[in-house]
Structure 1
C-alpha cells in the first residue's frame, strides 16, 4: 500500500486527510504548520497531537525527508551550492544566493531532465523522475535551517522542467505561498520553462502572479532546434503566441532567458529578429553568458561582444540585463555539480 506523503499535502488536503482518518480537521492545520511554518519533520516531536494520533499518522502516512549530502561555499561571493540525497538515493541540487535585497534560491523540480538542451548539464544523465512537492519544499527549508535565514525569492530553474512536472509544481507553489505556512509572496516566485506550449496556456488560466521565464536562446527555429530539442515540437511562432496569451491573461511581464553562445546566436540578425518577436509582448530579456560544459564545444562571447549585443537590443526598444554570474568556482549553474559528483563517484 502506498502511504500518503504528509508533507506534500496542501493546507486543505491536510484538514481533509485528518478527517478521513477519524481526527478533527483543525489537526490538519497543526500538521501543515509543523512542516511548513516550523520546518520540523519528526512526527514524534509534534506534541500538539496526541500520541495515538501521531502513531496513526506514522502507520498510514509518511514524511518525505532529504538530507544534505554536501555543501559547497563559494570563495568569491556568498553563494552556496547544495547537493541533496533523496530517500531513494537519487541526488538533486540547489543554489543559495545572497543579494542586497535578501536571499534567493534556485531549486530543482526533477531528478535529471528529459528536455535535452545541448549546453545544459542537467540533462546529460537523462531523466529519472519527478520531484514531489515535499522534495521541492525541503530544498528550501533545509537551506533556511542550515543558514538560519528566511529566503525571500524562489526560482524554479534548477534541474528539470517545471511544466513537465506540472501538478507537483503547482502544489508546491500553493503550499509555499500559504499564509498559514511559509507565506512566500507569489510575486517572489519565478518559474523557468524551455517552452512547453500547452502547459503555458494551462498556467495562464491559473492566473497566478508569478513570473514566467522562457528559455529562448535563439529567435530562429532551425538554430533553436539545434540546441533545444523542444523547438522541434513547438515552433517559435507557437511559443510566442502562448507567451502573448500568458502576458495578456495575467497582465504580467515575461522574462526571456537568452544564453549567449559565441558566433552562434550573438549577432545583429538575432537582435533584429528578437525585436520583431517581442514587439507585442511585455518582455524583459535576461542575457546569460554561456557556462561551458565539456559535452558542448562552443564558447561564451567575450565581454565586449556581450555588451555590444545588449546595446543593440536596447536600441531596438527592448529591456535587457546581463545576468550577474555567481558561484562560478563551485559549478553554480544548474546540473553541473550533480553531474561532476556522479562522474567522480563512478570513477
Structure 2
C-alpha cells in the first residue's frame, strides 16, 4: 500500500517512464504526422500552459522583488553564463564519448532558463526571498526566449545544420511569451476561476509535457535513434546531471556568501540559479529542433536533471528552513 501511495505521489515521473515505454511499442501512433497528430495537439497544449503561467503571476510580488539588483544579476549570470561555461569547457569531451544528439542534449540543458513554480516553491520552503525568486524566475523565462536560441546557435550548429535564429525567437515568442502576456492581461477576470480549479490547472503543464515526451520518443524510436544507446550511457548521463547540480549548488552558495548575501537572498539565488525548466524546455526544443528524429535523445538530459534537481533541492530547502528556525530560536532566547 505504501508503494502504491508513493507511485501516486510521484505520478509525473512514473508518467514519463510510461510515455517512453508506450513510445517503444506504439511509435507509429505518436510520431510526427501519425494517427494522433500530436504535433498539432501539443502546440495548443503548450500555449495553454503558458497562458496559465501568465494568469498565475502576481504583479505585486514581481514589483516587490524588482529593487534587489545584485540578486538579479547573480541569478541571471548563473543561469545564462556560468552554466553554459560548463559546455564551453567540457563540450568537446562530451562529443568525443557520447552520441552527438546526447552530447548536444547536455548543451541544451545548460542553456535553458530557470523554472518558475518549483524555484519559488523551494525558496518559500527554505525561508528565502520569495518576491526576489518570483521576479528572477519570471525574468529568466522571458530572457530564455531570446538567449537560449542564441546560445544554441553559438554552441551547437547541430552537425552542420544552421538555426534560423530570428525565426526561432519569433516562434518561441508566439508559443510561450504571447500566451503568457495574454494570461497576465486576463488575470483580473480569470484568476478567481483558476484558483477554484487549482487542482486541475496545476497539472495541465505536466499533462502537456507527457504528450510531448511521448511524441518525441515515438519519432526517435521510429527512426532507430536508440539502437546504439546502452545502460552504461544512461548511468553516465545520470551521474553527469547529478555532478553538475552539486557543483552549481555549492559554487553558488560559496559565491553568495562571499558577496555578502543574507540567507534569504542566498536561498533564492541557489534555487533560481541552479534549476532548469522542463516545462519550457520541452516545448522550446520542439520549436527549435522541429521534427528532428533525435529530439528524444536531445531531451534526455533535461528529463534526467528534472527529478534530480527536485529531490536534491527539496532536501536543501528543508536544511535551510531548519537553519532559519534555529536562528530565530537563538534570537528569542
Q: In which range does the TM-score fall when normalised by the shorter chain? A: under 0.3
TM-score scaled to structure 1, two decimals?
Answer: 0.25
Q: Tell which structure's C-alpha radius of gyration is larger.
A: 1
| TM-score, normalising length: structure 2 | 0.26
Counting strand residues as a fraction of each chain, which structure ranks higher?
Answer: 1
Higher RCO structure (Cα 8 Å, ≥6 apart): 2
More helix by percentage:
2
